[in-house]
A and B are shown apart, each in its own frame.
Chain A
């Protein structure tokens, strides 16, 4: 609780890596329009990877919805993440076709290789994974998607190999 002088100051997020200026055009476009809440949240997540609580509150006030309601929306949809995600977000399919063809083994292998469980980020910040319902590539089950690209007919080994390849690409990027 403080005085109102902060009104003149630019809003800052608890996560200093978040540059709110990137989102302002979208906020301006939908100011006072609760109907576009999901759209704006999606845009914010696209920009920042996840939605910290104070950002959700900030968005809700810009759009004119109650913060509790915005949080309710965030927690309802599985797409929204309130914790930081890895640079490469792995979506592991746990749909029916993938389940029948051994998706639980793939999760075991991925989780064992990365050393984290669902939703947590690896220490190097490269990966995190989430289970999803179906990626629509069921005929190639089991399937995972990384950075919008689907990988099919996975085995425990091939899944780990794909992760290793990404790691290698990243390593060569860093020189």
Chain B
């Protein structure tokens, strides 16, 4: 019998650690004969904490939203006592949503114990690297990658085999294999899930790449905000070294390889490969012009190859199953599967790995279960600060590199932030430009100053001070920043503005000319009024109002003075009778 508790960062945040210790105590107290382990995130974050029980007959039962009471029932079940554990079982629909996915990068996440190398080995782990170094030449590995059509999952989708070949062809004995685990796009967390849930698969992917380009040293650059990922990866590296899987003469061959972790220090731009290299060298993370590409002059000016976590995580599967099996999945220009992070106003937030070419609708209304609270789907933001907002009318767009580019958004790392009618698109544009302003390294003028000016315009529009001509000015600036910036950060930062202007121009116009925010997000544009019929005159709003704008007599409807009101929204928040109307 085996019990696993999902302890990715998301599971832990939902209380999985407490559930684990309750189970541990119970198992000990009742002398239950079973193995209790942790596992990573299976992707159904909305159901955390999740406990899987595999009974001796191999039957698997998944318990979700497990509480202390649920643990009690599960323990009774394990003791063969009468119990009510059934009510905590996963709903059939949720199980079907999980089964409908096609998992390659996430194949072991949420199933094996990431802290135990044996479980990875039992899941065909390290078979692919063994095959590479004992049976295939590096060229053959690269050929297999070419056949797979795998494109980089870090955002651009650049063919992985091509990068490897170019690094292989670069002159020099010393080469570096670098893994980009900076995952800067806010709203994306697939890389975290892979590292926390299946670190050995990442290590194996990096090793295969290293063998292909002829490198004996690798570095994983992990962002500082992922402490658990760093711990799990450290442990995995130690275990791999102990087994002789990392180190000298791996599997009795000439291949030697070791891996180190470098923790990032909190800078979005360090996800850009040349900035990442600067950061690894102990410098400010400033991008530089390409060429020379990292394949020619990378870390310490030596040939280096940089790939994203999810890219690497696909590699062992490709070697085991063949490039053509991977290429059989997906569309003409986008091969294989892709992991998407569903967040925002979605009913069932989490990770979903589906074939490329799946439509936005299938993801949002299939795995995602539609919009939270049954509201209307308004848009999905894809590609983070470099991406764009795709409106509801394009919900049948296929998710592949070409179709997304046509909408003005990008695939990016696969973050999908879902928005409903209560999301203001001008505010979203403002949010992203503010993000870029904070994260711009300041090296080039257009990115540093152009984004700042765009932010000022967006702020004034959100504050109800938008002027005639602002929309035109924004579009012009956006084009200039796009053209005039050095690295991908500035070149793509106007995308959120351009796509919202393209699809939601009416909202900008409402803000500027009618001084209205239909989503009711931009506070300075709102007016608060008391609904006489609902107000019981309890005085609570008047007490909380920081500007003394609310007056009245007890037990009679109160009045809000719009001249004094500072639109803080406190009155609507504290009113227990929904008697404050916001418009």
Q: Does B235 contact A (CB under 8 A)?
A: no
- B29-73 CB mask vs A (1 if < 8 Å, else 0) is 000000000000000011010000000000000000000000000
Query: Which residue of chain B has the shortest Cβ distance to A70 in the bound complex?
Result: B282
* A38 close to B282 (CB less than 8 A): yes
Q: Does A152 contact B (CB under 8 A)?
A: yes
Q: Does B279 contact A (CB under 8 A)?
A: yes
If the complex has contacts A73-B282, A73-B283, A78-B267, are A137 and B186 also in contact, measured as CB distance less than 8 A? no
Q: Given the complex of chains A and B, what is the CA–CA distance between A143 and B342 in angstroms?
A: 15
Q: Given the complex of chains A and B, what is the CA–CA distance between A41 and B263 in angstroms?
A: 11
If the complex has contacts A73-B282, A97-B417, A100-B344, are A133 and B186 also in contact, measured as CB distance less than 8 A? yes
Interface range, A side: 35 or more
* A38 close to B265 (CB less than 8 A): yes
* A37 close to B349 (CB less than 8 A): no
Query: Which residue of chain A has the shortest Cβ distance to B349 in the bound complex?
Result: A139
Query: How far in angstroms is the closest Cβ of chain A from B427?
Result: 9
How many residue pairs between the two chains, A and B, have CB atoms under 8 Å in the bound complex?
145
Query: Which residue of chain B has the shortest Cβ distance to A98 in the bound complex?
Result: B186
* B12 close to A149 (CB less than 8 A): yes
Partner pick for A137 among B183, B189, B432, CB 8 A cutoff: B189
Q: Given the complex of chains A and B, what is the CA–CA distance between A41 and B224 in angstroms?
A: 13
- B538-569 CB mask vs A (1 if < 8 Å, else 0) is 00000000000000000000000000000000
Query: Which residue of chain A has the shortest Cβ distance to B265 in the bound complex?
Result: A77
* B345 close to A101 (CB less than 8 A): yes
If the complex has contacts A138-B187, A151-B13, are A132 and B225 also in contact, measured as CB distance less than 8 A? yes
Interface size in chain B (residues, C-beta < 8 A): 56
Query: Which residue of chain A has the shortest Cβ distance to B422 in the bound complex?
Result: A100
Q: Given the complex of chains A and B, what is the CA–CA distance between A76 and B443 in angstroms?
A: 12
* A140 close to B14 (CB less than 8 A): yes
Query: Which residue of chain A has the shortest Cβ distance to B269 in the bound complex?
Result: A76
Q: Which residues of A contact B202 (CB under 8 A)?
A: none
Query: Which residue of chain B has the shortest Cβ distance to A30 in the bound complex?
Result: B282
Query: How far in angstroms is the closest Cβ of chain B from A22?
Result: 19
* A133 close to B268 (CB less than 8 A): yes
* A79 close to B13 (CB less than 8 A): no
Most buried by A among B45, B280, B344, B419: B344
> For window 258-286 of chain B, which residues contact chain A by CB distance below 8 Å?
262-268, 279-285
Q: Does A123 contact B (CB under 8 A)?
A: no
Q: Which residues of B contact A65 (CB under 8 A)?
A: 282
Query: How far in angstroms is the closest Cβ of chain B from A71?
Result: 11
Q: Does A128 contact B (CB under 8 A)?
A: no
Query: How far in angstroms is the closest Cβ of chain A from B516?
Result: 20
Q: Does B489 contact A (CB under 8 A)?
A: no
> For window 185-224 of chain B, which residues contact chain A by CB distance below 8 Å?
185-189, 192, 224
Partner pick for A96 among B46, B268, B285, B431, CB 8 A cutoff: B431
Partner pick for B192 among A78, A100, A133, A136, CB 8 A cutoff: A136
Can you give 9 A-B contacts (C-beta < 8 A)? A96-B431, A96-B432, A100-B428, A132-B266, A133-B435, A136-B225, A139-B343, A150-B13, A152-B13
